[in-house]
Amino acid sequence: MTQRKTKADLRSARWFAPDDLRSFGHRSRLLQLGYGEEDFMGRPVIGILNTWSELNACHGHFPERVEAVKRGVAQAGGFAVELPTLSVDESFTKPTSMLYRNLLAMETEETIRSHPLDGVVLMGGCDKTTPGLLMGAFTAGVPMIFLPAGPMLRGNHAGHTLGSGSDAWKYWDERRAGNVTEAYWRGLQSGIARSHGICMTMGTAATMTAIAEALGLTLPGASSIPAVDSGHQRMAAECGRRIVDMVWEDLTPGRIVTAAAVRNAAIVAMATGCSTNAVVHLIAMARRAGVALSLDDLDALGRVTPLIANVRPSGKDYLMEDFHYAGGLRALMKQLAARLDTSCITVTGRTLGEALEGAVVHNDDVIRPLSNPVYHEGSLAVLRGNLCPDGAVIKPAACDPRFYLHEGPALVFDSYAEMKKAVDDENLDVTPDHVLVLRNAGPLGGPGMPEWGMLPIPKALIKQGYRDMLRLSDARMSGTSYGACILHAAPEAYVGGPLALLRTGDMVRLDLPARRLDMLVAEDELARRRAAWVPPAPRFERGWGWIYSKHVTQADKGCDFDFLERDFGAVAGEPDI
Ligand code: FES
Ligand code: MG
């Protein structure tokens, strides 16, 4: 048991308590803001790090939630201040929000370090905001609690339920096939996103907030509360009350995010039908927390963890709103309790086991028993072979089983623009056995490893009724995507990974049970191609892109920056002035 902090121990006391000139300045500036000394002296100062913006549709309710958090902080005797951070919205950021995850992580770390904050409430949810906030906060090391945005309501149009992303892709293919009218398409546009909140399929956002909960970093049950449910407001206020006590208890993320907690999170991710992006983010987060987690660790857990959340796109029928009503993540974790380390502590200061007490599954078609899973293994599998010596990822439950063992000729595209033009060409020379390949779409090539990995099925095949085929890239794909898509091939083509050597017409073989992905090209021929390969010119000559290009790691390492990783160097101590 750690000693409770005293007022003098508060980090913020270094700013406000001394009788010196600098502290005089700090106090006078809070008075300038209209606060009195009784508001902040001797009280835990809680930073509310808010990823709200008017271009982040998923976080539209955050201004209201900030008020609830502040109410909770004040009730518990703390002093709350809201600090804006990069919004990293998934919907509008080009070329991809992933280019900016590490910028949010840096901003989070430095915002905490440079300000008089004793603890923080991290408000996020839209895809990259969860890992970005958490990675920075892990390094900063002050007590933190994560406030997940919560999923939006189910989509609806013309009596049909609609799932974020997944139904956009599905109906887009039907439109390309000529099966959807203009009026219906416009109806989908207004019905697919009906409220504030994150995508309500088990996409990257719902996956990452579930991972945050499984790590012990949210209040129990918080991650699936719909954004517009009044319970979400109450949860926000409770986050405010709880973080103040976490400061007095000195309950830092370092005490919560242990190797056992990371393993719990990986198991839960596999059981929920997680987004493929979970691999990249969880590895990066674990490394920030000083926990070694590899692709092979994830594959090993995936092989023995059944997928039990029947939530689209890996599941067939339900969405996050249904998942919440069925008992939410606590009920899912209760099913898995024998496989989890329930002695891990959470932000509550109590164990995960205590957090799961009383959790009940209310609908066992949504949250399945282990004896009746959606898929007998976990949601992700990791491949290796001469096309991806450092790994690639596939989501078997979301693809047609006829591709589990597949051999077909490659149809290779060097850029998204080239690929897009080709797939819309009704005379494209392509068969259902072809393997569509997109390269130069990885961490450096994309840049930012955009979500291009669910390559569109060529129109020529769509019209013949095909809706899935084997696809391969060094890109990511949206967590709401589905299909036989092999992603994250590492090293990426842009840095000379073997994907760069593949040519149209080469045979590609996937053997999912053996976890192999190979091009059937002789080694001496590959050596010739390798010798002839010319590195592409750098994409950026200045600015953020330049920093990013110099320092981003490959997908299997989590795409963090090398200089932010834990073993790069010691974290700076507290400022001594
Ligand atoms: Fe924000 Fe999907 S766009 S969670
Ligand atoms: Mg996404």
In this predicted structure, what is the pLDDT of residue 360?
98
Tell me the C-alpha distance between 29 and 468, whole Å: 61
Query: Six-digit token pair at 168?
Result: 């956009």
Asked whether 202 lines ligand 1 (CB < 6 A), one says: no
In this predicted structure, what is the pLDDT of residue 367?
98
Question: Helix 182-191 crosses helix 166-176 at what angle (to 10 degrees)?
Answer: 170
Q: Do 248 and 4 meet the contact criterion of CB atoms below 8 Å apart?
A: yes
pLDDT in tens, the chain (577 residues): 568 999 999 999 999 999 999 999 999 999 999 999 999 999 999 999 999 999 999 999 999 999 999 999 999 999 999 999 999 999 999 999 999 999 999 999 999 999 999 999 999 999 999 999 999 999 999 999 999 999 999 999 999 999 999 999 999 989 988 999 999 999 999 999 999 999 999 999 999 999 999 999 999 999 999 999 999 999 999 999 999 999 999 999 999 999 999 999 999 999 999 999 999 999 999 999 999 999 999 999 999 999 999 999 988 889 999 999 999 999 999 999 999 999 999 999 999 999 999 999 999 999 999 999 999 888 899 999 999 999 999 999 888 899 999 999 999 999 999 999 999 999 999 999 999 999 999 999 999 999 999 999 999 999 999 999 999 999 999 888 889 999 999 999 999 999 999 999 999 999 999 999 999 999 999 999 999 999 998 889 999 999 999 999 999 999 999 999 998 999 888 877 6
Query: Six-digit token pair at 270?
Result: 């596999």
DSSP letters spanning 76-119 = TT-EEEEEE-----TTT-SS-GGGGHHHHHHHHHHHHHHTT-SE
Question: Helix 328-335 crosses helix 204-214 at what angle (to 10 degrees)?
Answer: 60
Q: Which residues surround ligand 2, an ion (CB under 5 A)?
A: 90, 127, 204, 478
Ligand nearest to the CA of 480: 2
In this predicted structure, what is the pLDDT of residue 1?
55
In this predicted structure, what is the pLDDT of residue 577?
67
Measured in angstroms, how far is the CA atom of residue 194 from the centroid of ligand 1? 13
In this predicted structure, what is the pLDDT of residue 483?
92
Asked whether 103 lines ligand 1 (CB < 6 A), one says: no
Mutate to test the pocket of ligand 1, among 56, 61, 91, 96 (most ligand atoms within 8 A of CB): 91
In this predicted structure, what is the pLDDT of residue 317?
84
Measured in angstroms, how far is the CA atom of residue 403 from the centroid of ligand 2? 24
Q: What is the CA radius of gyration of the chain?
A: 24
In this predicted structure, what is the pLDDT of residue 572?
83
Asked whether 377 lines ligand 1 (CB < 6 A), one says: no
Give, rounded to a whole angstrom, the gap between the first and last alpha carbons of the chain. Answer: 32
Mutate to test the pocket of ligand 1, among 53, 55, 56, 58 (most ligand atoms within 8 A of CB): 58
User: Which of ligand 1's atoms lies nearest the C-alpha of 59?
Assistant: 1
User: Which of ligand 1's atoms lies nearest the C-alpha of 56?
Assistant: 1
Measured in angstroms, how far is the CA atom of residue 404 from the centroid of ligand 1? 30
Name which residue sits closest to atom 1 of ligand 1, judged by CA. Answer: 126
Ligand nearest to the CA of 51: 1
Q: What is the pTM of this model?
A: 0.97
In this predicted structure, what is the pLDDT of residue 3?
82
Q: Do 271 and 307 meet the contact criterion of CB atoms below 8 Å apart?
A: yes
Query: Six-digit token pair at 205?
Result: 């956002």
Neighbours of 236 (CB within 10 A): 28
Tell me the C-alpha distance between 88 and 94, whole Å: 10
Tell me the C-alpha distance between 526 and 448, whole Å: 27
Q: Do 203 and 169 meet the contact criterion of CB atoms below 8 Å apart?
A: no
Measured in angstroms, how far is the CA atom of residue 218 from the centroid of ligand 1? 19
Tell me the C-alpha distance between 317 and 271, whole Å: 16
DSSP class of residue 535 equals: P
Tell me the C-alpha distance between 173 and 465, whole Å: 10
In this predicted structure, what is the pLDDT of residue 481?
85
Asked whether 127 lines ligand 1 (CB < 6 A), one says: yes
Residue 367 CB contacts under 8 Å (≥ 6 apart), including other chains:
308, 309, 310, 323, 326, 327, 331, 332, 335, 361
Name which residue sits closest to atom 2 of ligand 1, judged by CA. Answer: 199
Measured in angstroms, how far is the CA atom of residue 562 from the centroid of ligand 2? 24
Asked whether 75 lines ligand 1 (CB < 6 A), one says: no
In this predicted structure, what is the pLDDT of residue 12?
97
In this predicted structure, what is the pLDDT of residue 276?
93
Three-state SS sequence of 147-196: EECCECCCEEECCEEECCCHHHHHHHHHHHCCCCCHHHHHHHHHHCCCCC
Identity of residue 89: D
Measured in angstroms, how far is the CA atom of residue 206 from the centroid of ligand 2? 10
Measured in angstroms, how far is the CA atom of residue 568 from the centroid of ligand 2? 30
Asked whether 451 lines ligand 1 (CB < 6 A), one says: no
In this predicted structure, what is the pLDDT of residue 377?
85
Residue 263 CB contacts under 8 Å (≥ 6 apart), including other chains:
301, 341
Tell me the C-alpha distance between 242 and 253, whole Å: 14
